[in-house]
Amino acid sequence: MKPGITAALPACHEAENLRQLLPELKRALEETGEAYTILVIDTAEPTDETPEICRSEEVFYLPQRYPGFAGATRTAAEYADSEMFLTLDADGSHDPSYIPSMVRMYKEARCDLVIGSRYTPGGETDDRWDSVWMSRFLNLVFRRIIGTDVKDISSGFKIYNTEKLQSIEITSTNFEIHQEVLLKLLLRFPDLKVSEYPIRFHRRIFDRSKRKLVRFILSYLQTVFRLIKLRRSASKHD
């Protein structure tokens, strides 16, 4: 792995948001002093001006190889060749200005994973009350299942150790990728160093959320049972 950051933005109909976000992301990454690469992972077939915006901003454009939100992250992880793998949403909900501080935390505390967290002390969210309630409840459930004290497991604003991330097999399709990855990393690396950096989560700038409530709930229920099975299986082999 070469020194630096691979920044991945899963993007589905996010052209208008990317126009504003990409220049801000570049400025934040330059402030870190690290070499960086930006990957925008679009749908398999483009549906808006995302390819053109990526060309004008001189960032890499990738059609995703696998289905769903998780498929975009999996596609980006296969291309990542820098020490740090940064993920953030392309809808403007994650403010790039936090990135330099998150990178400092990663390096100074020798972390394997830094999470931009809404729920650690100092974190905030502008999301709707029902979304916040559901998010907090799901994080509580998954903390118990995974066996961790991480407050914001479901945050998509993260810096991973790329080699460790690439060492696990990811099978998720949608947003449950966050829980699957954390559990598998903790099972494979019991001394995994995880830190949370407080952020303010903003509502998306343009367009609407891509989450479909019924599908979202069903996928998380499936994840609950899958992770319980995975953790029990790992315990039997200890």
CA distance 4 to 56: 23
Residue 151's nearest CA partner among 198, 119, 110, 103 is 119
Residue 125 β-bridge partners: 201
With beta carbons less than 8 A apart as the criterion, state whether 113 and 157 touch. Answer: no
129 has a pLDDT exceeding 90: no
Q: What's the pLDDT score for residue 197?
A: 98
Residue 228 CA: distances (Å) to CA of 54, 168, 171, 195, 210: 40, 17, 15, 24, 27
State how far the Cα of 198 lies from the Cα of 87, in Å rounded to an integer: 16
Mean pLDDT, rounded, for 216-230: 67
Give the SS3 label for residue 201.
strand
Tens of pLDDT, residues 64-81: 999 888 999 999 999 999
What is the average per-residue pLDDT within 15-44? 96
pLDDT at residue 23 in the model: 97
Note the pLDDT tens digit of each residue in 180-189: 999 999 999 9
The two tokens of residue 26 are: 């570049």
The pLDDT, as a whole number, for residue 71 is 92
Q: What is the pLDDT of residue 125?
A: 93
Residue 22 confidence (pLDDT)? 97
Do residues 14 and 208 make contact, with C-beta atoms less than 8 angstroms apart? no
203 or 61, which is more confident: 61
Instruction: Give the closest residue to 158 by CA, choosing from 30, 39, 49, 5.
Output: 5
Q: Measured in whole angstroms, how far is the alpha carbon of residue 30 from the centre of its chain?
A: 20
Residue 235 confidence class, pLDDT cut points 50, 70, 90: low
Average pLDDT over residues 23-48: 95
Cβ atoms of residues 237 and 189 within 8 Å: no
Q: Which of 3.30.565.10, 3.90.550.10, 3.40.50.150, 3.10.450.50 is the CATH number of 2-237?
A: 3.90.550.10
pLDDT band at residue 145 under the 50/70/90 scheme: confident
| The one-letter amino acid at 223 | T
Q: Which of 66, 63, 41, 70 is nearest to 173 (CA)?
A: 70
Q: How far is 91 from 208, CA to CA, in rounded Å?
A: 9
| pLDDT(58) > 70 | yes
Least confident of 98-112, 177-191, 212-226: 212-226
Average pLDDT over residues 160-173: 94
Q: Are 89 and 9 in contact (CB under 8 A)?
A: yes
Q: Are 180 and 172 in contact (CB under 8 A)?
A: yes
In 10 A of CB 98, how many CB atoms? 17
Higher pLDDT, 172 or 155: 155
